[in-house]
Amino acid sequence: MALWKTKSVNSAVAYWVLAGTGMLFIQVMLGGITRLTGSGLSITEWNVLTGAVPPLNAGQWTAEFNKYKQTPQFHLLNADFTLSDFKFIFFWEWFHRLWARLVGVVFIIGFVLLMYKRKLKSEMIMPLLILFFLGMLQAVIGWIMVASGLNGDAIYVEPTKLALHFIFAIGLISYAFWYSLKLLFPVTRFRNSRRIWAFSIGLLVLVFIQLLFGALMAGNKAAAVAPTWPGINGDWIPDNLFRQRPFILNFIGNKITIHFIHRNLAYLIMLSIFIWTLQLFRSGIIRSQRMRLLTPLALVVFQILLGILALFSSKGIQANHWVAFDWLALLHQLNGMLLLFSLIYAIYVLRPSMK
């Protein structure tokens, strides 16, 4: 039973924030493509303003290619690259950065315009400024990640920095999505929903951890170490889970450990969401929302199916070639984000009364 409601705020502000949330979702998708195409190290400098313009003539392209030739990735992996090959990977990294700039432009122009038209209430200013500074922080983390792959014998960016970049992106987009919900929908609180609301938060935490391990899977190229299912190379519990010392390194650098955790955490999340869905139907809290709140269950089942198919297809991975695994890995990432959004929505609508 609903306890109380308040009116929604100005729709112009709400749709502006929602549009920004959509752009951030696309940005994460472009980041996935950039990673899967091996494009992330093609631009070796961080030029915030001038970097928005790509090379425009043969001389500029040659200069950029020569910079890339100084990287360990070129020497150790892509020494046979032609200028045409380089242009392909350059495009995805450039477009990824360009889209990030566009997100910033849309935010700044929208903020100034809405301020000028007096559409922004005073209580909106701080959350929006937090959103902006989180976006700036994410850009800095992105460059730190890229820089980790430009020195020594690195072929790719450091996996932990990739995971940090991804999880901060997820945090940013989750914050934007929550705030857009707050602007779009009236506040509704329910009696007797505290337990299922707490369960929802627990699920959200598990999904965040799972997304973190998904990023570590990607950064360590860990899918291909066990392209089998349901067992992991014939075992349920591999022998070399904790071979690294110190012990904590196994959770960020041991491919089989990361793979084992990511796979089994998926089963735990699916089981938990199934139980959560049963409790939701039995509670009768919000009958009008039941179909929407079935979404997490559908998404988690699809997510596990995508993960299994990606495992099988990982045997066909080819460097610098887009194959079936890459399509499945990208869909796996995007569907994981949709699962996250569905749980954020559930937490928003299931909030209990304060009494």
Q: How confident is the model at residue 2 (pLDDT cuts 50, 70, 90)?
A: very low
Please determine, for residue 6, whether its predicted confidence score (pLDDT) is greater than 50: no
pLDDT > 70? residue 90: yes
Higher pLDDT, 7 or 253: 253
CA–CA gap between residue 287 and residue 281 (Å, rounded): 8
Write out pLDDT tens, residues 101-124.
999 999 999 999 998 988 888 888
Over residues 51-79, the mean pLDDT reads 93
**What is the rounded end-to-end Cα distance, in angstroms, of the chain?**
14
Looking at the chain, the whole-number percentage of residues with pLDDT higher than 90 is: 71
CB count in 10 Å sphere of residue 7: 6
Longest dimension (CA), the chain: 69
Q: Is the pLDDT of residue 196 over 90?
A: no
193 vs 239, more confident = 239
Are the C-beta atoms of residues 213 and 252 closer than 8 Å to each other? no
Tokens at 22, concatenated: 């959509």
Q: How sure is the predictor about 287, in pLDDT bands with cuts at 50, 70 and 90?
A: low
Of the pLDDT bands very low, low, confident and very high (cuts 50, 70, 90), residue 236 is very high
Under the banding of pLDDT at 50, 70 and 90, the label for residue 8 is very low
**pLDDT number for residue 320:** 75
- Partners of residue 321 on adjacent β-strands: 318
Q: How much is the average pLDDT of 132-138?
A: 92
| 192 pLDDT higher than 50 | yes
Across the range 8-19, mean pLDDT stands at: 80
CB 51 within 8 A of CB 97: yes
For residue 21, pLDDT beyond 50: yes
Give the pLDDT confidence score for residue 10 in this predicted structure. 67
Task: Give the pLDDT confidence score for residue 207 in this predicted structure.
Answer: 97
Give pLDDT, residue 7.
Answer: 43
Question: Average pLDDT for residues 232-255, to the nearest whole number?
Answer: 91
* One-letter amino acid of 228: T
pLDDT of residue 31: 94
Question: How many other CB atoms sit within 10 Å of the CB of residue 221?
Answer: 14
Percent of the chain at pLDDT > 70 equals: 93
- Which tops the pLDDT comparison, 259 or 355? 259
The whole-number average pLDDT for the span 36-46 is: 91
1 Cα distance to chain centroid: 35
Q: pLDDT band for position 190 (50/70/90)?
A: low
What's the whole-number average pLDDT of the chain? 89
User: What's residue 26's pLDDT?
Assistant: 95
- Which of 47-61, 289-303, 337-351 holds the top average pLDDT? 337-351
Yes or no: say if 140 and 168 are a contact pair by the CB < 8 Å rule.
no
pTM score of the predicted model: 0.90
